[in-house]
């Protein structure tokens, strides 16, 4: 409620700070703990998107942060709301995504009695968030929210959690708004760039590995100019596939799970590795086996915007504390030595990538997810956005889909199931004219499948493709590998997903043969509604390269017979 004495409630001050930061949308599940903040949305120009579970709301905010580079905003209630949201907070942490989660909190005068749903947010999120705090004094809201934007976006980005005591939100104060926050850019020094020039001059076989956050289309374009000028092959790390245009002759493929053996060999043959933007975590480093720790066996340049990440795992030959964009802008100005052999081997590596991803591998059963990915990559166009969560089904995306633009793959590098549906909702909200496709596993989908209702409520016609194999396939794969034949706790009985879609007010289609997919997809598009395409997939079709039967037989043959 407005007053005419120049004061505002804490809730009003808070939402005005978000307006000042250019926030256009916030994702929430409401709670009585932050009514005054909710009320302030009533007459302010930020769209409040109400979700069905805080894990979904937090994943939506994370997806916004991931693709825009500015913090996605999420509001949740205390205790159970905050703990539900932790799924998205953890993704933002591992994926280095800017995000701010506002959490309702009990009144200040009840603290430490374990009042209704009370949590100590600094303690609970202390190791998961980049910063967790609580606002005691409404006059400090502008200062703290401003700091939250700086903290979430700068260096290595991450999530900030801010608890809001409910009586603080209703207190009236007279305070000025904080100005718009720009993420802090760190640029490489000329001394570092000349060292890099010398290293590039002396290298026969350099290789670029890209990952992490703080990328943009502009930074990606700059990277590709640098790589093309020097003819250096570029590979993208796990679920960062859309950071490089796969049609460029310098694209070498995906360094995630199930890597092209030729790419692995090429990386191992490199005499100079440039890791730009990423941390090279457990997945892309192939469980930390690719490079020796702490001293890689190869000349190793690590470019990262967070100074704490440099030297954290790998002791680089040259460490450069810079954002990817600032680094690539400087790198593309370096002088390229003539290296025809490198040019030829880079072109060969790209040909190897094309061969690896060109044609779907044969699969048991009627539906081949690889063929569907091949069909989609030709059909969707460069602006199509793919989202996913975690599960073996995602292997077909990573191998066969070909990304061309930044932000067209929105998936959790942290491997969190349930991410794809909320991420698709958020992407369709941001990019209404672009196709947004969520590819989900059957287990994965039902972790946040209720957010399909959010897509229906806000008329966001996402298309969810569910790969239904009746199992938590990834875990079955590990069971067959380690405890062959002893399948436990991994079979799931699914609902009729077509009926699920229509019950929610969407469109649904069942596909039991690959050849029926294009018609189902056309039906989904024509409906103009959020849609689910239910694929019946053979559980034996466990990866792009092998089957469950083959994994079990191999494990039994190697003596793993419990």
Residues at the contact surface with ligand TPP, assessed by CB under 6 A:
390-393, 415-418, 441-444, 467, 469, 471-475
- Shortest approach of ligand TPP to residue 87 CB, angstroms? 6
- Shortest approach of Mg ion to residue 481 CB, angstroms? 17
Closest to ligand TPP by CB, 169 vs 421, is 421
Question: What string marks each residue from 473 to 492 as x (binds Mg ion by CB under 5 A) or -?
Answer: x-------------------
Closest to Mg ion by CB, 366 vs 523, is 366
- Shortest approach of Mg ion to residue 537 CB, angstroms? 8
356 within 8 A of 399, measured Cβ to Cβ: yes
61 within 8 A of 27, measured Cβ to Cβ: yes
- Shortest approach of Mg ion to residue 214 CB, angstroms? 33
* Partner that binds at residue 371, options Mg ion, ligand TPP, none, CB closer than 5 to 8 Å by kind: none
Closest to ligand TPP by CB, 243 vs 369, is 369
Torsion, CA 481, CA 486, CA 487, CA 488, rounded to 10: -120
- Shortest approach of Mg ion to residue 495 CB, angstroms? 14
- Shortest approach of ligand TPP to residue 560 CB, angstroms? 21
Size of the site for Mg ion (CB under 5 A): 5
> What is the SS3 assignment for 418?
coil
CA dist 423 → 63, 154, 498 (Å):
5, 23, 21
Binding of Mg ion at residue 539 (CB under 5 A)? no
Name which position in 77, 469, 544, 547 contacts Mg ion (CB under 5 A). Answer: 469
Closest to Mg ion by CB, 134 vs 444, is 444
CB-based burial label for 327 (10 Å; 0-12, 13-18, 19+) = buried
Binding of Mg ion at residue 157 (CB under 5 A)? no
- Judged by CB under 5 A, the stretch of 8-16, 133-141, 279-287, 434-442 that binds Mg ion is 434-442
- Judged by CB under 5 A, the stretch of 127-135, 142-150, 345-353, 438-446 that binds Mg ion is 438-446
Give 177's DSSP letter: P
* Partner that binds at residue 18, options ligand TPP, Mg ion, none, CB closer than 5 to 8 Å by kind: none
- Shortest approach of ligand TPP to residue 417 CB, angstroms? 4
| Token code pair at residue 227 | 């790589």
255 within 8 A of 236, measured Cβ to Cβ: yes
* Partner that binds at residue 155, options Mg ion, ligand TPP, none, CB closer than 5 to 8 Å by kind: none
* Partner that binds at residue 104, options Mg ion, ligand TPP, none, CB closer than 5 to 8 Å by kind: none
186 within 8 A of 251, measured Cβ to Cβ: no
* Partner that binds at residue 33, options ligand TPP, Mg ion, none, CB closer than 5 to 8 Å by kind: none
Closest to Mg ion by CB, 429 vs 536, is 536
Q: Which are the contacts of 118, defined by CB distance < 8 A and separation ≥ 6?
A: 78, 79, 105, 106, 110, 111, 112
- Shortest approach of Mg ion to residue 478 CB, angstroms? 13
* Partner that binds at residue 474, options ligand TPP, Mg ion, none, CB closer than 5 to 8 Å by kind: ligand TPP
Percent helix, strand and coil across the chain, each to the nearest 5: 40, 15, 40
Name which position in 441, 449, 461, 506 contacts Mg ion (CB under 5 A). Answer: 441
**Three-class HEC string of 326-392:** HHHHHHCCCCCCCCHHHHHHHHHHHHHHHHHHHCCCCCCCCCCHHHHHHHHHHHCCCCCEEEECCCC
Determine the Cα–Cα distance for residues 201 and 468; give it in Å rounded to an integer. Answer: 51
> What is the SS3 assignment for 415?
coil
411 within 8 A of 381, measured Cβ to Cβ: no
Residue 443 backbone phi and psi in degrees, to 5: -70, -50
- Shortest approach of ligand TPP to residue 492 CB, angstroms? 7
Determine the Cα–Cα distance for residues 386 and 434; give it in Å rounded to an integer. Answer: 11
* Partner that binds at residue 365, options Mg ion, ligand TPP, none, CB closer than 5 to 8 Å by kind: none
- Shortest approach of ligand TPP to residue 540 CB, angstroms? 12
Closest to Mg ion by CB, 398 vs 529, is 398
Nearest to 89 by CA among 78, 99, 102: 99
Binding of Mg ion at residue 442 (CB under 5 A)? yes
* Partner that binds at residue 504, options Mg ion, ligand TPP, none, CB closer than 5 to 8 Å by kind: none
Closest to ligand TPP by CB, 35 vs 475, is 475
Distance of CA 489 to the CA centre of its chain: 28
* Partner that binds at residue 475, options Mg ion, ligand TPP, none, CB closer than 5 to 8 Å by kind: ligand TPP
- Residue 48: half-sphere exposure toward Cβ, Cα within 13 Å: 16
- Shortest approach of ligand TPP to residue 389 CB, angstroms? 7
Q: Which residue has the tokens 């700059």?
A: 222
Rule CB under 5 A: which residues touch Mg ion?
441-443, 469, 473
């Amino acid at each position: 409620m407005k007053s005419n004495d120049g004061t505002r409630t804490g809730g009003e001050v808070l939402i005005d700070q978000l307006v000042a930061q250019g926030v256009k949308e916030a994702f929430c599940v409401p709670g009585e703990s932050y009514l005054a903040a909710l009320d302030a949305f009533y007459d302010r120009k930020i769209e409040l998107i109400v979700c069905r579970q805080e894990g979904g709301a937090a994943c939506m905010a994370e997806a916004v942060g991931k693709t825009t580079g500015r913090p996605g905003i999420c509001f949740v209630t205390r205790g159970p709301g905050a703990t539900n949201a932790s799924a998205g907070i953890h993704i933002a942490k591992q994926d280095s995504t800017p995000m701010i989660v506002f959490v309702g909190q009990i009144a200040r005068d009840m603290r430490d009695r374990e009042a209704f749903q009370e949590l100590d947010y600094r303690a609970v999120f202390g190791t998961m968030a980049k910063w967790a705090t609580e606002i005691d004094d409404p006059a400090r809201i502008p200062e703290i929210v401003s700091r939250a934007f700086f903290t979430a976006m700068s260096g290595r980005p991450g999530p900030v959690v801010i608890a809001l005591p409910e009586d603080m939100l209703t207190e009236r104060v007279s305070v000025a708004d904080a100005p718009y926050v720009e993420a802090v850019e760190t640029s490489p020094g000329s001394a570092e760039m000349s060292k890099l020039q010398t290293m590039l001059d002396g290298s026969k076989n350099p290789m670029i590995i890209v990952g992490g956050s703080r990328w943009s289309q502009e930074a990606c374009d700059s990277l590709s100019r640098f790589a093309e000028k020097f003819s250096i092959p570029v590979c993208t790390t796990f679920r960062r596939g859309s950071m490089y245009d796969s049609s460029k002759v310098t694209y070498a493929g995906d360094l995630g799970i199930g890597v092209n053996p030729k790419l692995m060999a090429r990386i191992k043959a490199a005499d100079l590795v440039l890791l730009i933007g990423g941390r090279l975590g457990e997945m892309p480093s192939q469980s930390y086996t690719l490079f020796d720790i702490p001293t890689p066996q190869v000349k190793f340049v690590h470019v990262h915007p967070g100074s704490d990440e440099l030297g954290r795992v790998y002791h680089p030959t040259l460490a450069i504390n810079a954002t990817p964009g600032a680094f690539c802008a400087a790198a593309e100005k370096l002088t390229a030595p003539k290296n025809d052999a490198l040019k030829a081997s880079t072109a060969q590596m790209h040909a190897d990538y094309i061969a690896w991803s060109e044609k779907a591998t044969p699969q048991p059963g009627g539906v081949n997810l690889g063929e569907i990915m091949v069909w989609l990559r030709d059909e969707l166009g460069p602006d199509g956005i793919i989202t996913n969560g975690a599960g073996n089904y995602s292997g077909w995306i990573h191998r066969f889909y070909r990304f061309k633009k930044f932000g067209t793959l929105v998936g959790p590098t942290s491997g969190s199931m349930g991410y794809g549906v909320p991420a698709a909702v958020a992407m369709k909200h941001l990019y209404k004219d672009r196709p947004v496709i969520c590819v989900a596993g059957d287990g994965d989908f039902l972790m946040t499948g209720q957010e399909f209702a959010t897509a229906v409520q806000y008329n966001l016609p996402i298309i969810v493709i569910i790969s239904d194999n009746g199992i938590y396939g990834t875990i079955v794969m590990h069971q067959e590998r380690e405890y062959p034949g002893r399948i436990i706790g991994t079979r799931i009985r699914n609902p009729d997903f077509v009926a699920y879609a229509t019950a929610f007010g969407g469109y649904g289609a069942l596909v039991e043969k690959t050849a029926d997919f294009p018609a189902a997809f056309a039906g989904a598009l024509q409906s103009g509604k959020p849609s689910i395409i239910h694929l019946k997939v053979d559980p034996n079709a466990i990866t792009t390269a092998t089957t469950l039967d083959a994994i079990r037989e191999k494990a039994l043959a190697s003596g793993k017979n419990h």
